[in-house]
Structure 1
Amino acid sequence: MRRVAAIDVTRGLVMVIMALDHVRDLLHTPALTQNPTDLTTTTPAIFMTRWVTHLCAPTFVFLSGTSAYLSLRRQAIGNRNDALRFLRSRGLVLLLLELTVINFAFWFDFHFQSLMLQVIYAIGFGLVILSFLAKLPVRTVGIIGLVIVVGQNILQLVPTFTNPVARLIWALLFRTDFFPVSPTFALLVAYPVIPWLGIMLVGFGCGQLLERPTENRKPLLLRIGLGALALFILLRFLNIYGDPAPWSSQKSHLFTFFSFINVTKYPPSLLYDLVTLGLMFVFLAIMDGANNTFTRWMTVYGKVPMFYYILHWYLVHLSMIGMALWQGYSLADLPSGPMNFGRPANAGISLEYVYLVWISIVLFLYPLCRWYGQYKLEHPTIKWLRYI
C-alpha cells in the first residue's frame, strides 16, 4: 500500500501553523494578560492569528487515527497482533515524552513544578485505547468515535466534582481543568482524553476512504468536508446544541462573524470539530494528487511530526529567552514557579514580529526535518526511529 501523500501535506501544513500559536503564546506582548478570542479586548488580527491555529490539534489527532489504520493495513494478517502491540507501545512512548522531554520544553524547569497535559498526552493515551478497539470492525470503531464527537457536549453538563480524586479522573478523561496542587507544583489537564479520542476514532474509521483511488476519494473528501461545514453553519445558527458558548450580535458585522466562529476548544465541542475537520477534509481533497513546490515543502514537515514538534517547542522557548535578554533582562530576571514559562511581565514583541520569528523557526527546521526524514528512510532497521 502506497503512502498517501495528501496526509503528509496536510499534517505538515497544520504543524507549520501550530508553531505560530506557540510563538504568539510565548512572545506576543499581550499574550500573558489577554485572551486572543475574547471579543471585548481582541483585535481582528490577533483573533484570526489564534483562530486559524484551531485547525491544528484536531487535524493532527484525526490523521493519527487515519495513519494508524493505514499502518495496520500494511501489516500481514499474521503480524497484526505485533502491529497492535507497536501501536500500544508508541502510545506509551508518547505519554512518556509528554511527561518529560515535552514538558521540559514548555517550562525549562529542572524541578518540574508544572505539568501540562496537551495534545501528545491525548494522542498517546488515544493510541493505547485504539490498540484494543482496533480489533473491532473498522466501521464500529468509527461509529464509536462519532458517538463521542456528537454526544460529548452533554458531559459538560455534569457538575464539577468536590472529591479531588474524582475531579482529577474526570478531568483526565473528559474536562479541561487546573489543579494547583501545592505552592511548588501545579497540573493543567488541557486535553482530556475522551473528546480527542472521538476524533482519533473517526479518523481511524475514515482510513478506508484513503484506500480508494485518488479519482474516487477526492470528490468524496470534498463532499464530506463541505457537508461538515454546512452542518456547522446550521447548528451554530440554531444556537441550541454543539457548543457551550453561544454566538451573539457584536459591535460590528465582523465581530458578529467572529462570535459565530468562536467555538470552544477546551475541551473540543461538536461545533469545533465540525468546522475544523470540515476545513481539513476540504484541504485534503484539494491536496490529494497535487505535486508542486508547496506540497513538497509541507511533506518534509509532515513526514516527521514528532521530531518537528519537539524541536519547535525548544526553539520557541529559546527564542522567548533570547527576546528577554535582547530587551535588557538577565537570566536572573526570568520568573519561575508553577505554570510560568519564565517570561518577564513586560517583555514581548508586537504581532508583526511574532510572524517574523515564526517564519524564521519554520525555515530553520526545514533542513533538519529533511535530513531526519531521509535518515529514517535509509535506516529502517533502527527501531527507535519508528517512535519519533
Structure 2
Amino acid sequence: MKRVTAIDITRGLVMVIMALDHVRDLLHTSALTQNPTDLATTTPAIFMTRWITHLCAPTFVFLSGTSAYLSLRKQQVANGDDQSARRFLLKRGLVLILLELTVVNFAFWFDIHFQSLMLQVIYAIGGGLVILSLLAKLPVTWVGIIGLVIMVGHNILQLVPSFTNPTAKLVWALLFRTDFFPFSPHFAMLAGYPLIPWLGIMLVGFASGQLMERPADQRKPLLLRIGLGALLLFILLRFLNGYGDPAPWSIQNTGLLTALSFINVTKYPPSLLYALLMLGLMLLFLSVVDGKDNAFTRWLTVYGKVPMFYYILHWYLVHLSMIGMSLLQGYSLADLPSGPLNFGRPANAGVSLSGVYLVWLGLVLLLYPLCKWYGKYKTAHPELGWLRYI
C-alpha cells in the first residue's frame, strides 16, 4: 500500500507550529503570568500565536488513528491477518505512555527527582492506541460511530459535579476532565489530556482511514467537502451559543475581539466545537496538499515522517534555550527555581514575542538536518524493530 504523503505533510506542518507554542510557554516574558487566550488581558498577536497551535493536538491524535487504520490494512493485504498489527498498536501505545512518564516529562522539567508529572498528548495517543488495539476488531463503521458519539456527547459530562473522593477524582481526571493534583509539597500531577475525549478524535481518524485509501483525485474533493461541512457546523453551533463548548462567545469592545471570542474554543478537554473547528481546518489543509510535490511540502515531510523523534528532541532544545536565555540575561544556575510543575525559569526572565518567533524559527531549522538524518536511518534499517516506536 502506497504511503499517503499528505499525512506526512500535514503532520509536519503542525509539528512546526507546535514548537512555537512551547517556545512561547517557556521563553515569552508574560507566559508565567498571562493566559494568552484571556481576552481581558491578552493582545491579538499573543492570542493568535497561541490559538494557531490548537491545530496541533487534534491533528496528531486524528492522524494517529488514520495511520493505525492504514497499518492494519497493510497487514491484511500482506498477510491476510491484522492480529500482529493490533499487537503492535498495543505495544506502541504502552511504549508511548512509558515515554511520557519518563523521557518526555524529564524534558518538561529537567528534574531528576521527578517532582512533577504532566500527562499530555503522548499519554492521550498512547492510551488511545491501547484501546484502539481492542476496538479495531470491530467493523470500521462501528469504530467511527463510537468516536462520533464520544466527540458529540462528552460535553454533557461537564454537568457532572467534582468528586470529593480523591481516588474517584483522579480516575475521572485521567479519563474525562483536566485536573490538577498537588499530592504533596514535593510532588504534583497535571492530568492535561483526559483519555476519553481525545479517544473520540482518534477513533474518527481511524474510520477516516478508509477515505485515505481512495485515489487522490477521489479523496481530495471529499476531504474538502467534509472539512467545509465541519466548519459550517461549527459556525452554526457556535452562533447558537448553546451546546458544544463550556465557554460561550460574547460581544466585545471591538469587532476584532468579538471575532476572537467566537473562535476562542475549549481545548482542555477538547470540546465538540474545538474539534469541529480544528479538524475542519486540518481536513482543508489535507485536501490542498494532497498530491502536491514542491520544496515546501518536501520540507514539511521531513518533519512529518519522524514525529516522535521530533517531539522528544524539540522539547529538550526548547528547555535548553530557556536556560540559555536565563544565563544570558544575568541569572545563574542557582537562580533557576525548582519544585512541582516549575519549568525552572526565573520570574523576570523572558523575551518579547518577536524574540519568541526568532528562537522558534532557529530551533525548527536546527531540527531539520537531524530529522532528515533520522528519517533516512530509519528507512535504511527496517531490521531494527525499536525504530518503529520513535
TM-score, normalising length: structure 2 = 0.99
How is 1:304-343 mapped onto 2 (pairs within 5 angstroms)?
A: 304-343=306-345
Structure 2 match to 1:57: 57
Displacement, 1:387? Answer: 0.3
Moved more, 76-85 or 287-296: 76-85
Structure 2 match to 1:22: 22
Q: Does 2:82 align with 1:74?
A: no
Structure 1 match to 2:13: 13
**Cα distance in 1, alignment partners of residues 388 and 286 from structure 2:** 25
Structure 1 match to 2:275: 273
**Cα distance in 1, alignment partners of residues 159 and 314 from structure 2:** 37
Structure 2 match to 1:299: 301
Q: Does 2:201 align with 1:199?
A: yes
TM-score, normalising length: structure 1 = 1.00
Structure 2 match to 1:4: 4
Question: Which residue identity does 2:165 align to in structure 1?
Answer: N
Which ranges of structure 2 fall in alignment gaps of 5 or more residues? Answer: none
Structure 1 match to 2:383: 381
How is 1:129-148 mapped onto 2 (pairs within 5 angstroms)?
A: 129-148=131-150
Query: 2:313 is paired with a residue of what secondary structure?
Result: helix
1:245 to 234, 244, 247: 247
* Deviations 1:294-352, CA, capped at 9 Å, x for gaps: 10000000000000000000000000000000000000000000010000000000000
Q: Does 2:34 align with 1:34?
A: yes
2:187 to 185, 188, 192: 185
Query: 1:186 is paired with a residue of what secondary structure?
Result: strand
* Deviations 1:130-179, CA, capped at 9 Å, x for gaps: 00000000010011000000001001110000000000000000000000
Displacement, 1:42? Answer: 0.3
Structure 1 match to 2:372: 370
Query: 2:189 is paired with a residue of what secondary structure?
Result: strand
How is 1:61-140 mapped onto 2 (pairs within 5 angstroms)?
A: 61-75=61-75, 76-140=78-142
Query: 2:188 is paired with a residue of what secondary structure?
Result: strand
Runs of 4+ in structure 1 deviating by more than 4 angstroms, as ranges, are none
How high is the sequence identity, in percent, across the aligned residues?
80
* Deviations 1:53-88, CA, capped at 9 Å, x for gaps: 000000000000000000111113444111111110
Question: Which residue identity does 1:374 align to in structure 2?
Answer: K
**Cα distance in 2, alignment partners of residues 131 and 13 from structure 1:** 27
Which ranges of structure 1 fall in alignment gaps of 5 or more residues? Answer: none
* Deviations 1:188-235, CA, capped at 9 Å, x for gaps: 000000000000000000000000011110000000000000000000
Displacement, 1:380? Answer: 0.4
**Cα distance in 2, alignment partners of residues 148 and 69 from structure 1:** 19
**Cα distance in 2, alignment partners of residues 3 and 331 from structure 1:** 47
Question: Which residue identity does 2:93 align to in structure 1?
Answer: G
2:362 to 357, 360, 363: 360
Structure 2 match to 1:150: 152
Displacement, 1:186? Answer: 0.1
2:264 to 262, 265, 268: 262
**Cα distance in 2, alignment partners of residues 268 and 156 from structure 1:** 12
Question: Which residue identity does 2:196 align to in structure 1?
Answer: I
Displacement, 1:244? Answer: 0.2
Query: 2:348 is paired with a residue of what secondary structure?
Result: coil
**Cα distance in 1, alignment partners of residues 202 and 276 from structure 2:** 14
Question: Which residue identity does 2:224 align to in structure 1?
Answer: L
**Cα distance in 2, alignment partners of residues 328 and 13 from structure 1:** 35
Query: 1:30 is paired with a residue of what secondary structure?
Result: coil
Q: Give aligned pairs, total.
A: 388
**Cα distance in 2, alignment partners of residues 84 and 247 from structure 1:** 42
The CA RMSD measured in Å over matched residues stands at: 0.5
Structure 1 match to 2:225: 223
**Cα distance in 1, alignment partners of residues 41 and 171 from structure 2:** 34
